[in-house]
């Protein structure tokens, strides 16, 4: 049984005080003994410690938005996987569309980061998703397949227990346009099928596949009710307690209904 997962990607937003306040709001909504769902927040690097302190003792986990693949050395501005573990991160988002399309990360680089994160003991939220032009050209599945294959090169069956996949159509991220439940479910079923082919049916059944792209309180439950949608990765709506907490509550309601 896959446990529903609600993750917040704060991107490059907030400052120390607002980050702490938002974390406290999330922590209040998810007790340490939360039995129905998993919750995660991924603040910017400078606020990892403070946010980690604010969610400590709650059911909210801490993650980072990226990592560098080298373990240490002359890589100005970069942050290693061991550093993330050292400040209390359990998770790292990798391959987010903004890293792919704004910063220019390739599947090859993302794959190195996945390997480094897993080696350090971090769990990986691997993002994949097509551009609008890909969808219009009927290339959604081909693009997602290539991203999965490239990013998961060398990742073993056993490693996959530490990986969740986030399907995030780029045209739905930050646009207010959400994929329909049919579009999302179809892509998720495709990802699960890909996992079954690349790994096996056990890995495919156990891997959580989250949807991301303009998730809001009013569409979260419908999305998470789909058989292959195991949670949501939330950007904009994770920046406001009065939006993020209802999404957590929607997950709990779906999980317990
Ligand atoms: C994201 O950044 O992963 C995301 C899904 O953003 P938004 O919810 O704002 O579309």
Chain segment 77-103, per-residue pLDDT in tens: 999 999 999 999 999 999 999 999 999
| Nearby residues of 38 by Cβ (< 8 Å), 6 or more positions away | 3, 4, 5, 6, 59, 61, 231
Q: Is the pLDDT of residue 1 over 90?
A: no
Which tens digits make up the pLDDT trace of 46-76? 999 999 999 999 999 999 999 999 999 999 9
Alpha-carbon dihedral sign for residues 175, 177, 181, 186 = negative
Cα 256 to middle of ligand 1, angstroms = 25
User: Closest ligand 1 atom to the C-alpha of 127?
Assistant: 3
Q: Which of 98, 105, 130, 168 is catalytic?
A: 168
Percentage, residues of the chain above pLDDT 90: 100
Report which secondary-structure segment, H or E, holds 123.
strand 123-128
Q: Distance between CA atoms of 218 and 224, rounded to whole angstroms?
A: 12
Whether ligand 1 lies within 6 angstroms of the CB of 213 is answered as yes
Strands (E), 120-183: 123-128, 163-167
Residue located nearest, by CA, to atom 4 of ligand 1: 235
DSSP state of 100: I
Q: Distance between CA atoms of 168 and 211, rounded to whole angstroms?
A: 6
Q: b or e along 46-69 (b: 16 or more beta carbons within 10 Å of the residue's beta carbon)?
A: ebbeebbebbeebbbbbbbbbbbb
Whether ligand 1 lies within 6 angstroms of the CB of 233 is answered as yes
DSSP state of 163: E
* Global pTM value: 0.97
Whether ligand 1 lies within 6 angstroms of the CB of 235 is answered as yes
Distance of CA 81 to the CA centre of its chain: 17
Active site residue 168: yes
Cα 214 to middle of ligand 1, angstroms = 6
Strands (E), 190-229: 209-212
Whether ligand 1 lies within 6 angstroms of the CB of 173 is answered as yes
User: Closest ligand 1 atom to the C-alpha of 166?
Assistant: 3
Report which secondary-structure segment, H or E, holds 25.
helix 16-29
Which pLDDT belongs to residue 127?
Answer: 98
Q: Distance between CA atoms of 55 and 25, rounded to whole angstroms?
A: 9
């Amino acid at each position: 049984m896959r446990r529903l997962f609600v993750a917040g990607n704060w991107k490059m937003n907030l400052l120390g005080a607002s980050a702490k306040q938002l974390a406290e709001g999330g922590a209040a909504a998810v007790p340490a003994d939360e039995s129905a769902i998993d919750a995660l927040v991924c603040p910017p690097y400078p606020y990892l410690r403070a946010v980690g302190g604010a969610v400590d003792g709650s059911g909210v986990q801490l993650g980072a938005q990226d990592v560098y693949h080298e373990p240490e050395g002359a890589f100005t501005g970069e942050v290693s996987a061991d550093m993330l573990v050292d400040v209390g991160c359990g998770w790292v988002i990798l391959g987010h569309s903004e890293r792919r399309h704004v910063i220019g990360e390739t599947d090859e680089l993302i794959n190195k980061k996945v390997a480094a994160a897993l080696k350090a003991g971090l769990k990986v939220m691997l993002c994949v998703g097509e551009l609008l032009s890909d969808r219009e050209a009927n290339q959604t599945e081909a693009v997602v397949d290539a991203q999965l294959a490239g990013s998961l090169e060398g990742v073993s069956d056993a490693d996959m227990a530490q990986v969740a996949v986030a399907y995030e159509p780029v045209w739905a991220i930050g646009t207010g346009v959400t994929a329909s439940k049919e579009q999302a479910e179809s892509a998720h079923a495709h990802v699960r099928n890909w996992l079954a082919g690349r790994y096996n049916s056990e890995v495919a059944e156990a891997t959580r596949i989250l949807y991301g792209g303009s998730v809001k309180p009013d569409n979260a439950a419908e999305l998470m009710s789909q058989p292959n949608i195991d949670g949501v990765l939330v950007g904009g709506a994770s920046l406001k307690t009065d939006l993020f907490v209802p999404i957590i509550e929607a997950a709990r309601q779906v999980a317990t209904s």
